Amino acid sequence: MDEKFDCIIVGAGPSGATAALRLAGAGLNVVVFERGKPGSKNMFGGVLYSTVLNKLIPDFWKEAPVERHVIRKRFSLLSSTAEAAFDLSFNAFDSPPYNNSFTVLRARFDRWYAGKAEEAGALIVTDANVEDFIVEDNAIKGVKAGIEGGDVRADCVICAEGANSLLAEKSGLKTRPGPSSTTLGVKEVISLPKEVIEDRFSLEDGQGASFEFFGTALGGAAGSGFIYTNKDTLSVGIGVPISVLKEKGLKPNDLIEGFKGHPAVARYLRGGKTEEFSAHMIPEGGYKAVPTLVKDGLMLVGDSAGLLNPSLFREGTNLAMASGLLAAETVIDARAKGDFSARTLGGYAERLKKSFVIKDLLRYKDVPAAIGSIPGLFSEGPEAILEFLQGHFTVSEKSKDELHSEIRKAFRNKVSMKKLLLELYRASKALR
Ligand SMILES: Cc1cc2nc3c(=O)[nH]c(=O)nc-3n(C[C@H](O)[C@H](O)[C@H](O)COP(=O)(O)OP(=O)(O)OC[C@H]3O[C@@H](n4cnc5c(N)ncnc54)[C@H](O)[C@@H]3O)c2cc1C
């Protein structure tokens, strides 16, 4: 390609497509390089958070391939045989803008979203893997895409390549995240008739549910499992830090099979057929793992910048879209000034700091370290708590006083109260 662009974007995921949509909408000459077809290489758990998208494309859900809007949220603690759950259902989330929470399948959603950027005027080049940057005087001046004529120049580059951030590392802005900052997500899409999903999850037409599971069902490993409802499929998966997989010698495939086989999970999947299996990395290092975000001619957005909320809220898509939008606003300013140096592009980092993106990452900055320091809460803790609850509700001819004193004793023999309370305190402090 001989043409020089105002901006090159690497990756057509939520962050890259948002930047492309905004820049093309402002009349800039933008090209997006995507190593596959939009969505073909992407997966995620399943809930798209859409505050930013709804601003860019008001009432987008009327045309976008969304599956269901989430009105029911359930958090479960699992032991190997039992479950304690906290189940929430909100009628207010059943009308526009549907709490900005929609289940989607990325293969469909990303294709649609990249199409909107294309309609706005962005050039999307598919099957084009960007291998490196063009660098002059330590400034990024373009990219080397692995296609014919793939050396392409631009005033600046937005790196939206996702969690496996090889280019961000090549740029020198980032080093390879450690195994405790990276979670491996493994997911299956399981088909079931629409009516079965609605009956099983107590949903009406269009309504969706997000179920999150913690505890011993993941082989006692720190991590979590999920079920999200689509129209006629379920997204079912687990996420476990790579450090934990290594330390415990666990195999992701065994973990997801164990999770699916847990009685509290299996009842939702009964009769379903696995249609897809995929795995992907999740950057869960939080605020402390966010690298320097800009250098001359370059900005990092979305997962490549580690912008993912690692707390119970599990938001990634909205942070990715927000960062893509703020990077695009900064490019528009830089073009007006005719200056793409780190000094001007630094406006992006300033905008992020003032937004919910960095504010939320800062608030939950201690979550990644806390997860590593509370192993008991993922193993003996849930077992002991659920055994205690089971004992509490067991009907017998012993007096309640006798029964309760027995189960308290058994509980104390199983777990160190001091350790459990300390771990609960650490977890609640990080998640507060
Ligand atoms: C198992 C799992 C569950 C998740 N669950 C949720 C959830 O429920 N809700 C939520 O909000 N977030 C969730 N996330 C996080 C969410 O998926 C990410 O935060 C979000 O996708 C980040 O968007 P992105 O555009 O930065 O990166 P990505 O979506 O990863 O997009 C990057 C794009 O860049 C392309 N690319 C990469 N390298 C190159 C290259 N060299 N050249 C050209 N193209 C390239 C890729 O093919 C891809 O299309 C989950 C993630 C995983 C893995």
* pLDDT beyond 90 at 370: no
Q: What is the position in ligand 1's atom list of the atom closest to the CA of 187?
A: 1
* pLDDT beyond 80 at 232: yes
Output the pTM of the full model.
Answer: 0.94
Q: How far is the CA of 305 from the centre of ligand 1 (A)?
A: 11
Same topology, domains 4-65+105-177+285-365 and 182-283? Answer is no
* pLDDT beyond 70 at 270: yes
Q: 284 CB under 6 A from ligand 1?
A: no
* pLDDT beyond 80 at 380: no
Q: What is the pLDDT confidence band of residue 110, given thresholds at 50, 70 and 90?
A: very high
Which pLDDT score is estimated for 278? 94
- Give the percent of the chain with pLDDT over 90: 73
List the residue whose alpha carbon is closest to atom 51 of ligand 1: 44
List the residue whose alpha carbon is closest to atom 2 of ligand 1: 44
296-313 as b/e: b if 16+ CB within 10 A: bbbbbbbbbbbbbbbbee
Ligand 1: which of 317, 319, 352 to mutate, judged by most atoms within 8 Å of the beta carbon? 317
Q: At what angle do helices 342-354 and 317-337 cross, to 10 degrees?
A: 140
Q: What is the pLDDT confidence band of residue 431, given thresholds at 50, 70 and 90?
A: low
Pairing, β 66-78 against β 101-104 = antiparallel
Question: Which amino acid appears at position 353 of this protein?
Answer: K
| Dist. CA 7–CA 32, nearest whole Å | 9
For domain 182-283, give its CATH number from 3.40.1080.10, 3.30.9.90, 3.40.718.10, 3.40.50.1000: 3.30.9.90
pLDDT digits (tens, 9 = 90+) for 283-296: 989 999 999 999 99
Which pLDDT score is estimated for 412? 80
pLDDT digits (tens, 9 = 90+) for 45-84: 999 999 999 999 999 999 999 999 999 999 999 998 899 9
Q: What is the pLDDT confidence band of residue 304, given thresholds at 50, 70 and 90?
A: very high
Task: Dig out the tokens for 356 from the structure.
Answer: 């919910």
| Dist. CA 35–CA 138, nearest whole Å | 25
Task: Dig out the tokens for 427 from the structure.
Answer: 């977890």
Question: Which amino acid appears at position 140 of this protein?
Answer: I
Which pLDDT score is estimated for 263? 94
Q: 379 CB under 6 A from ligand 1?
A: no
Q: How far is the CA of 302 from the centre of ligand 1 (A)?
A: 8
Q: 11 CB under 6 A from ligand 1?
A: yes
Q: 161 CB under 6 A from ligand 1?
A: yes
Q: Which residue has the higher pLDDT, 267 or 43?
A: 267
List the residue whose alpha carbon is closest to atom 20 of ligand 1: 317
Which pLDDT score is estimated for 95? 97
Contact status, residue 387 vs residue 79, Cβ threshold 8 Å: yes
Pairing, β 130-136 against β 139-145 = antiparallel
Residue 81 region by backbone torsions, left for phi larger than 0, else alpha for psi between -120 and 50, else beta = alpha
Pairing, β 30-33 against β 123-125 = parallel
Mean pLDDT of the chain: 92
Nearest to 312 by CA among 97, 62, 76: 76
Q: How far is the CA of 50 from the centre of ligand 1 (A)?
A: 15
| Dist. CA 209–CA 103, nearest whole Å | 9
In terms of CATH, what superfamily is 4-65+105-177+285-365? FAD/NAD(P)-binding domain (3.50.50.60)
Q: What is the pLDDT confidence band of residue 432, given thresholds at 50, 70 and 90?
A: low
Q: 280 CB under 6 A from ligand 1?
A: yes
Contacts of 414 (CB under 8 A, 6+ apart): 380, 383, 384, 387
List the residue whose alpha carbon is closest to atom 29 of ligand 1: 13
Q: What is the position in ligand 1's atom list of the atom closest to the CA of 17?
A: 25
Q: How far is the CA of 16 from the centre of ligand 1 (A)?
A: 10
Q: How far is the CA of 160 from the centre of ligand 1 (A)?
A: 9
The strand ranges marked E within 315-370 are none
| Dist. CA 22–CA 371, nearest whole Å | 37
pLDDT digits (tens, 9 = 90+) for 130-174: 999 999 999 999 999 988 888 999 999 999 999 999 999 999 999
Contact status, residue 49 vs residue 318, Cβ threshold 8 Å: yes
Q: How far is the CA of 240 from the centre of ligand 1 (A)?
A: 17
DSSP 219: T
Q: 16 CB under 6 A from ligand 1?
A: yes
Q: How far apart are the first and last CA of the chain?
A: 51
Respond yes or no on whether the N-terminal peptide bond of residue 96 is cis (omega within 30° of 0). Answer: no
Question: Which amino acid appears at position 96 of this protein?
Answer: P
Upper half-sphere CA count for residue 76 (Cβ side, 13 Å): 23
Q: Which residue has the higher pLDDT, 430 or 96?
A: 96
The whole-angstrom distance between residue 399's C-alpha and the CA centroid of its chain comes to: 49
* pLDDT beyond 70 at 375: no
Q: What is the pLDDT confidence band of residue 358, given thresholds at 50, 70 and 90?
A: very high
Domain ranges in the chain are 4-65+105-177+285-365, 182-283, 373-431
Q: 322 CB under 6 A from ligand 1?
A: no
pLDDT digits (tens, 9 = 90+) for 169-188: 999 999 998 888 899 999 99
